[in-house]
Structure 1
Amino acid sequence: MDIASFLGVISGISLIVSAIFIGGDINNFINIEGMMIVGGGTLATTLLTFQFKDVLAAFKAAYFVFSKEKEDPNDAVATMIKLCHLSRKQGLLELSKIKTKSGFLKKACGLISDGSSEQVIRAALLTEIDSLKLRHYIVQDVFRKMGIYSPAFGMLGTLIGLVQMLSKLQDPSSIGPAMATALLTTFYGSLMSTLLFLPIAGKLKSRTVMEVINLEIMLEGAISILDSNNPVVVYEKLSSFIPERLRKPITGMNYRSENK
């Protein structure tokens, strides 16, 4: 679980709810009509903007924001060093037998063992990275658009509430509920945008950046294995992707077994 994401949402909701309790009754902030306008309108417009499969993929990705820890680039470096040791001892062809959950790493090892040139390997793997960026951009854009739509529907709900209020000025008892709908829809739209949709989009973007870094480590590691096959050289090259204070020394790395 990503503790930072979990704490961010929980602390944000807790502070807002606490402020509401301190200032009055939380029931005053519950309005079904306003929730229908903002929630339903945002979802409907999102489905109109994107394909259903993209919206579904976005919500699945949002789940992983909370449930999956981000990958450590040091692990990718350690994996490539392990593959370097393996290729030095048993030859490049041995890399074709590697079993890994990473399709990208499997493809890199296959290209190396097939005797592909550096240009071919780099072009093939860069295409994979570019495709991943495009796929992830669409997922992020779903939440960016929802972050734009929800305040807009909040404002739309405010206008609906004001029209209802003005049309019933002769009935003082109806002014309160209509005004509540007018104000609460704006509150709901702003809350959903600033506390959920835009932060999730930002978190997904940061995850994409980290994933791209890991893939670039694998790419450069594959090229380094093909060029020199020297674990120390591979480490020095790949560790450059990681901030110096976060780098693990080559002797302290936990080489994950990828060929079992």
Structure 2
Amino acid sequence: MNLDFATIFGLFGSFAVITAAVLIGGSATAFYNLPSVLIVLGGTFLVTTMSYSLFEVLRSQRLILRALFKPHRRPIEVAMDMIELAERCRGRGILKLQDYISQGDPESFQNKSLQLVVDGLPADEVNRILSNELKAMSARHNSSAGMLHRAAEVAPAMGLIGTLVGLVQMLSSLDDPSTIGPAMAVALLTTFYGAVLANMFFSPLASKLERNSAEEVLINRIYIASATSIGRQENPRRLEMVLNTLLPPTERVQFYN
């Protein structure tokens, strides 16, 4: 995995633009209000936890960080490598895969799929095991993205609740002018915090997590198709045709041309 500089640039850049606008327009302290922070941040976290479970929320933190990273290899590069590996196995035998596996990460999806082939499992069994693991991985990613989408829905709602709290406090203390300002600050800043969190943090990260997950699923489907083809000792030219049905039209491989 490599850092996704587009995500980092967009995330920090958008907050930097808002910060610059605040500083140019006046004092930054005017945009800080502890009750508003508690209502929006605390309320968003707690209500999102209600929608899932505490275990799911804590487990998703690691997956959410994946939105800041992207796969270090493109699907077309993976497809080319797997066709080359299939060609090598056709000439030297499947057991030669063990040398290739020993050079990589044993926990990677690629090495797991190839190890099943080396262990002699039938191709259909390899395909079933890997497909089930891929479904489980995709479900975890979708759960984390759904949690971010849910937080994006809750944050503006908590901002609205904070606005109502501030308005009630203001209207109940109209006889004391000194309390109108702080109550109005709560009313406006909670809406501001909720809008910023939802539209500049939760929603973009959810979209990027879904995009990265889709690309990782595509790469793992290439591994599944390749491992199944190698296990059946099929002609690598057929594997090229199969992989091209998975890849986008602009990234299809032409290994034998």
Where on the TM-score scale, by shorter chain, does this alignment land: which range? 0.7 to 0.9
* Aligned match for 1:149, one of 131, 147, 154: 154
CA distance in 1, matches of 2:239, 2:71: 26
| Counterparts in 2 of 1:70 and 1:195: CA distance versus 1, 3 Å | farther
CA distance in 1, matches of 2:256, 2:64: 36
CA distance in 2, matches of 1:169, 1:226: 79
Corresponding residue for residue 186 of structure 1: 191
| Counterparts in 2 of 1:96 and 1:56: CA distance versus 1, 3 Å | same
* Aligned match for 1:89, one of 78, 88, 91: 91
Structure 2 residues without counterparts, runs of 5 or longer: none
Report if aligned partners of 2:71, 2:212 keep a CA contact under 8 Å in 1. no
Corresponding residue for residue 129 of structure 2: 124
* Aligned match for 1:107, one of 112, 115, 126: 112
TM-score scaled to structure 1, two decimals? 0.85
TM-score scaled to structure 2, two decimals? 0.86
CA distance in 2, matches of 1:52, 1:198: 21
Secondary structure, in 3 states, of the residue corresponding to 1:135? Answer: helix
The one-letter code sitting in structure 1 at the alignment partner of 2:36 is G
Q: CA deviation at 1:161?
A: 0.6
Corresponding residue for residue 243 of structure 1: 248
**Per-residue Cα deviation, 1:16-35 (whole angstroms, up to 9, x for no partner):** 22333344433322111101
Pairing 1:221–2:223 present: no
CA distance in 2, matches of 1:244, 1:139: 30
| Counterparts in 2 of 1:248 and 1:18: CA distance versus 1, 3 Å | farther
The one-letter code sitting in structure 1 at the alignment partner of 2:214 is V
Corresponding residue for residue 30 of structure 1: 32
Per mean C-alpha deviation after superposition, the further-off stretch among 33-42 and 119-128 is 119-128
Report if aligned partners of 1:70, 1:207 keep a CA contact under 8 Å in 2. no
Report if aligned partners of 1:104, 1:128 keep a CA contact under 8 Å in 2. no
CA distance in 1, matches of 2:132, 2:248: 26
Corresponding residue for residue 257 of structure 1: none
The one-letter code sitting in structure 2 at the alignment partner of 1:198 is S
Corresponding residue for residue 58 of structure 1: 60
Report if aligned partners of 2:145, 2:209 keep a CA contact under 8 Å in 1. yes
CA distance in 1, matches of 2:119, 2:160: 60
* Aligned match for 1:43, one of 32, 42, 45: 45
CA distance in 2, matches of 1:62, 1:107: 24
Report if aligned partners of 1:154, 1:186 keep a CA contact under 8 Å in 2. yes
Corresponding residue for residue 256 of structure 1: none
The one-letter code sitting in structure 2 at the alignment partner of 1:8 is G
CA distance in 2, matches of 1:116, 1:37: 55
Report if aligned partners of 1:147, 1:194 keep a CA contact under 8 Å in 2. yes
CA distance in 2, matches of 1:251, 1:64: 35
Structure 1 residues without counterparts, runs of 5 or longer: 253-260
Corresponding residue for residue 168 of structure 1: 173
Q: CA deviation at 1:229?
A: 4.1
Q: CA RMSD in A?
A: 2.4
Q: How much identity, in percent, do the aligned residues show?
A: 33
Q: CA deviation at 1:182?
A: 0.4
